[in-house]
Chain A
Amino acid sequence: GPKVLQIPSHQIIDMGQMVTLNCDPVSNHLYFYWYKQILGQQMEFLVNFYNGKVMEKSKLFKDQFSVERPDGSYFTLKIQPTALEDSAVYFCASSLPWQGRKYERLFFGHGTKLSVL
C-alpha cells in the first residue's frame, strides 16, 4: 500500500545544533503532519500543514521548530537550536485533503529517533 518514508531512521546530534528530519509523503497526499513520541509516553500532535501553510500547531511546536515542503519535495521538520527535551521519536504522516466531514485516514512513517546529547 501507500508508504510514507522517513529519513534518517536515527539521528544523533549535540545540543544546540540544528537538525532537519525528512519525510517523503504518499505521492498524492496534500495534508502533512508531525507527531512526537517520547519513550514510554503517548504520541503527541505537533503540527499539520497544507497548501504551504501551517494549519494548526500545538504548544509543543516551539519557536525553534519549523516545517516546510519546498516544491513538492520532502516535508521537513527543522529544529534550531535543539534542546535535550527534543529527544524523542518523530513520526511524519500524510493524508488526502480533509473536505467537509469526510474522514481521511493518516498514513504514518516508521519514525525518526532523535537523540540530543
Chain B
Amino acid sequence: TQTVSQSDAHVTVFEGDSVELRCNYSYGGSIYLSWYIQHHGRGLQFLLKYYSGNPVVQGVNGFKAEFSKSDSSFHLRKASVHWSDSAVYFCAVSASSSFSKLVFGQGTSLSVVP
C-alpha cells in the first residue's frame, strides 16, 4: 500500500520569495507522483507529474518538482511566488498495480503575503 506524507500543513511566504512544499512517499514498486493545486472553493487542478527519466519536472506557472528515490521525496518548488499562488497543494501517488487510483497527501496550505 502506498502512502503520502506532506509534513507542512501551512506555509506562509512573501510575494517574490521562493518556496518548497515537501512530499514524502512510501512504496516499493513503480509509481507515478503528481502535484495538484486547489484554490478555495474549487476542484483540484493538475500541476505536474513524474514517472521516469529526468528527476526534475517542470509544471505550469513556474512550478517544478524533483524526484529523489533515495529520500523517497517529490518536493515542489517555485523560485518566485505570486499572491495568486495562495492555495492548497496536494501531492499524490499512484502505484504500478493500479495507476488510476491516486492516493493524496494531507495537503499544504500556501499563503503568499503581498
For residue A110, which residues in chain B have a CB less than 8 angstroms away from its CB? 41-43
Question: Which positions 40-84 of chain B face chain A at CB distance < 8 Å?
Answer: 41-46, 49, 51
For residue A4, which residues in chain B have a CB less than 8 angstroms away from its CB? 43
For residue B106, which residues in chain A have a CB less than 8 angstroms away from its CB? 41-42
Give the most central of A4, A41, A106, A110: most B CB within 10 Å.
A106
Tell me the count of chain B residues lying within 8 A, CB to CB, of chain A. 22
Partner of A91, one of B44, B100, B105: B44
Give the most central of A43, A55, A101: most B CB within 10 Å.
A43
Q: Taking A109-B43, A110-B41 as contacts, is the C-beta distance between A48 and B104 under 8 angstroms?
A: no
Interface of B, helix, strand, loop or mixed by DSSP: loop
Q: Taking A42-B106, A110-B43 as contacts, is the C-beta distance between A103 and B49 under 8 angstroms?
A: yes
Contact B49–A108 (Cβ < 8 Å):
no
How far is B38's CA from A109's CA once the two chains are assembled, in angstroms? 11
How far is B112's CA from A94's CA once the two chains are assembled, in angstroms? 30
Residue of B nearest to A43 (CB): B104
For residue B90, which residues in chain A have a CB less than 8 angstroms away from its CB? 42-43
Contact B43–A111 (Cβ < 8 Å):
yes
Contact B44–A101 (Cβ < 8 Å):
no
Within 8 Å of chain B (Cβ to Cβ): is A14? no
Within 8 Å of chain B (Cβ to Cβ): is A45? yes
How far is B44's CA from A43's CA once the two chains are assembled, in angstroms? 11
Question: Which positions 67-112 of chain A face chain B at CB distance < 8 Å?
Answer: 91, 93, 95, 98, 101, 103-111
Contact A45–B42 (Cβ < 8 Å):
no
* Interface CB pairs A-B, < 8 A, 23: A35-B104, A41-B106, A42-B105, A42-B107, A43-B44, A45-B102, A48-B100, A56-B101, A93-B44, A95-B100, A98-B99, A98-B100, A103-B49, A103-B51, A104-B100, A105-B49, A107-B43, A108-B43, A108-B45, A109-B43, A110-B41, A110-B42, A111-B43
